[in-house]
Structure 1
Amino acid sequence: MSLSKPAVKRKVGDEHRQFQEKWGVQYFFVEHRGTPTCLIYTEKVAVHKEYNLKRNCTTRHAEEYEKYQGDERANQVASLKTRLLRQQDLFKKATKDSNAAVKASYAVCELIDPVLSDPKWLMDLAFLVDITHDLNVLNKKLQGQGQLVSAAYDNVRAFCTKLVLWKAQLSQTNLCHFPACKALVDAGTPFSGEKYAEAISKLQEEFDHRFADFKTHKATFQIFADPFSFDVQDAPPELQMELIDLQCNSALKAKFREVSGEADKLGQFLRELTPSFPELSRRFKRTMCLFGSTYLCEKLFSTLNFNKSKYRSRLTDEHLQALLRVSTASSLKPNVTM
């Protein structure tokens, strides 16, 4: 009894199949890096076999590209080849740029490595991180719509008080409010409290210079914030008599407590004081006219840039003025009776 030999399995690589140039025009394929690639969908076919290319063409784009014949079909294939080459060039450029960026980052690391190893520089950076964080918190408090100048004064005064505390704590190497510095100290980095206490002193001087007007109007802001608890003896002489009458008015005092903490209602209350408080009313209105922040100015310029664009070149100055007035006056309410 004879046994038949098992069939030897063919390998695709042993068949030495090659891409035929005619397949490009027939099936919209091109050989790219040794692999047949569809010019339309950039799909790849693993085997150089006409049946596979034809099946891909028939199932994917035969109906759409069947209308191209002869020279028109050849031109279409050439156009698709050019597009494919451009895409590959773009990928090569992106890879080249990426490699250049990596090399540049290594070069920068070599340059800054001595700096990052300097404990004094690291501590300076940590202190800058901590103090900048606190300044950003203050900056956000001073922004926003409907910000009264008295509220801004309270926030600045609170920050100046914090500076006094931080200066004393830094002199004693107390870093409870400086987490970045504390992390370095815990890791063994030396810390000079007097050096950073001096930096806080310079920051105090800068705040005193920049907000000098606040100190000039300190009494006015305090009366505006709470006229019922302000010491009459510290008030200007022209306000003392009216202030006593106001503090002894139980009805107004109760109404003030109700609106306290709400900027809109508080402003409405102070604007509508009875005629028996003319000097206080004048002083309150003057205080409310002060801008607590540059929010309205920034909003106005943003609105101006949005409306006065190249697509709306026919806007006149009158139109633009009306647009700005309506868009920035968010508190306007239509006076319509039904």
Structure 2
Amino acid sequence: MEKTMKIINHIRGTSSTQHRLFRKFVLESEASHDDLLLHNDVRWLSKGKALERFVELSAQVVEFFKQSKAKAAADHLRTMQDSEYMSNVAFLTDIFSHLNALNLQLQGKEKSVVDLVEKLDAFGNKLDLFNADLLSGRLLHFSTLKKVGQSHVTDRMKKFITQLKDNFSSRFDDFLIPRDVIGFVRDPFSINPSGEFSTNSVKMMPLDEAAIQSELAEIQAAGDLKAALRGAENLGVFWLSCPEEYGTLKTLAMYVLTMFGSTYTCEAAFSKMNNIKTHERNRLSHQSLEDSLRISLTAAKPDVKKLVSEGKCNFSH
């Protein structure tokens, strides 16, 4: 990755003249893009986009270095003519593509911790698929590596996949929500009432285990609730609509669903605050800012007609 960033920075950052010449050369070659992308260390997933663009313009970069008289260009040309290096770049491009896809799945409104755990578990399973794909040499999940031509798989790639899975496992070790509890929140009708679910539940919350088992047996016989789950807008709506006779199960489900599944609310708040605190409003008080944020972040929609009809109009005399 470091070598690739040096090549990109050499073209884009050495001088404005060289950058302009490269862009002109790329445009004349009728490539799919007209420039390389810089990588931002703060947003580490931008590496994926930078690598993808680099691979797509690799032929143009090689030709540009061949025409360049700079010593650094000759060194970079030797690097790019190394088949193992280009295979590693293509491999990393595919890996970051998968990571970017996971990142997008974890973003957005109304993402619960149930969604988060399911997506992370799915990605862990995908890493096993990727490893098997590398071993077989079919490269079904590594399209860029397959297109580059130097599609030989190295031990370094296999080790990278293994280390990535270990990293995910250690990073989310403290994220110990029992998977049967996650499954219960998603679909209470598929959980065995006499299984380990009730035991795992009382470890999370001080609930009556007998009530959990009893209510679970009852709710699974309620055909109307099965239909309600299928037609519910989201899991929160379903559990809030459940009758109070399933109060213990509702308490457990809402405990899980009220955990923050993503940083969306926090990021949205900062974005709204930046829009509110403009140069024209630099004397905004803390209370006014808090009120403005509350209004801009709420999902509630005011009934303007009703508010106006209830208002008292002042008539001039």
When normalised by structure 1's length, the TM-score is: 0.64
Structure 1, unmatched stretches of 5+, are 1-95
Alignment of 1:164-313 (within 5 A): 164-184=128-148, 187=149, 189=150, 191-232=152-193, 233-237=195-199, 238=209, 239-259=212-232, 262-263=233-234, 266-313=235-282
The runs of at least 4 consecutive aligned structure 1 residues that moved more than 6 Å come to none
Q: Which amino acid aligns with 1:222?
A: G
How many matched pairs?
Answer: 236
Equivalent position SS for 2:259:
coil
Q: CA offset at residue 211 of structure 1?
A: 2.3
Q: Secondary structure at the match of 1:209?
A: helix
In structure 2, stretches of 5+ residues that fail to align are 1-14, 23-63, 200-208, 310-317
Letter in 2 for 1:177: H
RMSD: 2.5
**CA displacement at 1:231 relative to structure 2:** 2.3
Give the TM-score of the pair, scaled to structure 2: 0.68
1:294 maps to amino acid: T
| Equivalent residue, structure 1, for 2:45 | none
> Which residue type is aligned with residue 118 of structure 2?
D
Of the two, which has the highest radius of gyration?
A: 1
- Residue identity over aligned pairs, in percent, reads 29
**CA deviations over 1:15-64 (Å, ceiling 9, x no partner):** xxxxxxxxxxxxxxxxxxxxxxxxxxxxxxxxxxxxxxxxxxxxxxxxxx
- For 1:1-338, list aligned pairs within 5 A: 98=17, 102=21, 106=68, 107=70, 108-184=72-148, 187=149, 189=150, 191-232=152-193, 233-237=195-199, 238=209, 239-259=212-232, 262-263=233-234, 266-334=235-303, 336=306
Task: Describe the shift of the 1:273–1:97 C-alpha distance in structure 2 as closer, same or farther (beyond 3 A).
Answer: closer
Distance (whole Å) between structure 2 residues aligned to residue 209 and residue 304 of structure 1: 35
Distance 1:276 1:145, change over 3 A: same
Offset of residue 296 of structure 1: 0.9
> Any idea what SS the aligned residue of 1:212 has?
coil
Aligned residue identity for 2:83: P
Residues 145, 151 of structure 2: 8 Å contact kept = no
Alpha carbons 1:270, 1:284 under 8 Å: kept: yes
Instruction: Give, in angstroms, the shift of residue 192 of structure 1.
Output: 3.0
Indicate the larger mover: 138-147 or 302-311: 302-311
